[in-house]
């Protein structure tokens, strides 16, 4: 979201585009329908040729963009992409024999990389922590949360453990069923006091079945208060999961966007073919209630929907982002019998499996 910009991967590389230009192109495409020939590349500032991009990550100060392809990671100056149209990377590194990049996260002054073989590395991609299933960083970039050996561990940037808590898979119905195993697919450290954990159940053939989302809340304001006891909450947000629509083991599948102004989490799953987007609500800071609740959209007309593909096959969201910036216009909504003008405070961007970018306003 540097200078209200969006970075999008496509089969032959990735583009840098201004958010406003994408919104205008999206409106034109909606008005013209199938007659529209506009695509995101038509309104991009820069188109970088880099086949096989699987992950894009912008640094916390929004100065550097990491682009991951297989075992390679290339770093680009975000300013150069948007102002100088410079498509050359400023640096690069490789995981070598450690495998391909499964996930990449920015710390405050560094980055960490998780390989598909479960090796968590940082800095120069040397020796790291093995047997890691999923990873995320705290909002200040000074701590790392990892799922490892049926536990959630919090580490310092140099991978020293400061906290460990067991993951209670008993919250999953029939979790003791013979021939099944449960594994963490995704972690999202969405608030100082809350970590979202997405789990999958593996059958005897190691294929993924079902999906469970849990929220681990600290008893205090952070996970580092000695007197705080974490609370584990189950959230029924993974609806319409189709296990065979993506291969097993290609996660993380859980995509999250936290809206701090409203204490609201936008949730989607790459394997969800129905009810693609869900909302979880945290109580206000002054509320003593610790429960996280699922919000149901009452008005269908304002519910974010992802239509079937043009060939009527199921559609899924593969890329997802929430932009917390000032937007460019007010919109009119119907509230009961009245029309009201509201100023959206967020944008929701969804990249579908057929390569379409769908943009929603988020207003309240």
Residues of the chain with pLDDT under 70: 1-3, 35, 123-127, 168-180, 225-228, 238, 285-288, 325-328
What pLDDT score does 204 carry?
Answer: 83
pLDDT at 75: 96
**Residue 54: count of CB within 10 angstroms of its CB:** 14
Angle at 222 between CA 173 and CA 150, to 5 degrees: 35
Asked if 154 contacts 135 with a C-beta cutoff of 8 angstroms, the reply is no
At a CB cut-off of 8 Å and minimum separation 6, what does 177 contact? none
Residue 153 pLDDT: 93
Taking a C-beta distance cutoff of 8 angstroms, is the pair 112, 135 a contact?
yes
Q: What is the largest CA-CA distance in the chain?
A: 63
CB 242 within 8 A of CB 271: yes
Rounded CA-CA distance 115/161 in Å is 20
């Amino acid at each position: 979201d540097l200078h209200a910009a969006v970075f999008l991967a496509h089969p032959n590389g990735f583009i840098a585009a201004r958010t406003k230009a994408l919104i205008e192109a999206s409106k034109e495409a909606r008005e013209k329908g199938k007659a529209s020939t506009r695509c995101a590349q038509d309104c991009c500032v820069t188109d970088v040729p880099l086949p096989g991009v699987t992950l894009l990550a912008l640094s916390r100060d929004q100065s550097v963009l990491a682009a991951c392809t297989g075992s390679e990671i290339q770093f680009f100056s975000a300013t150069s992409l948007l102002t100088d149209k410079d498509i050359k990377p400023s640096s690069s590194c490789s995981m070598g024999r450690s495998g391909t990049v499964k996930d990449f996260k920015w710390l405050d002054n560094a980055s960490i990389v998780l390989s598909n073989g479960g090796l968590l590395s940082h800095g120069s991609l040397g020796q790291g922590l093995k047997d890691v299933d999923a990873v995320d960083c705290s909002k200040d970039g000074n701590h790392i949360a990892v799922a490892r050996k049926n536990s959630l561990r919090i580490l310092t940037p140099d991978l020293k453990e400061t906290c460990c808590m067991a993951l209670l898979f008993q919250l999953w119905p029939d979790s003791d069923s013979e021939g099944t195993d449960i594994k963490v697919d995704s972690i999202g450290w969405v608030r100082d006091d809350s970590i979202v954990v997405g789990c999958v159940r593996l059958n005897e053939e190691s294929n993924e079945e079902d999906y469970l989302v849990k929220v681990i809340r600290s008893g205090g304001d952070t996970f580092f208060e000695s007197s705080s006891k974490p609370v584990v909450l189950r959230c029924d947000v993974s609806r319409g999961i189709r296990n065979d629509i993506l291969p097993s083991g290609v996660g993380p599948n859980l995509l999250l966007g936290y809206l701090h102004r409203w204490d609201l989490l936008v949730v989607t799953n790459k394997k969800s073919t129905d009810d693609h987007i869900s909302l979880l609500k945290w109580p206000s800071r002054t509320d003593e209630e610790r429960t996280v609740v699922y919000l149901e959209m009452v008005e269908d007309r304002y519910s974010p929907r992802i239509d079937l593909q043009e060939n009527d096959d199921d559609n899924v969201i593969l890329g997802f982002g929430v932009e917390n910036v000032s937007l460019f216009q007010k919109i009119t909504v119907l509230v009961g019998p009245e029309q009201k003008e509201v100023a959206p405070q967020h944008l929701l961007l969804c990249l579908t499996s057929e390569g379409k970018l769908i943009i929603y306003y988020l207003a309240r």
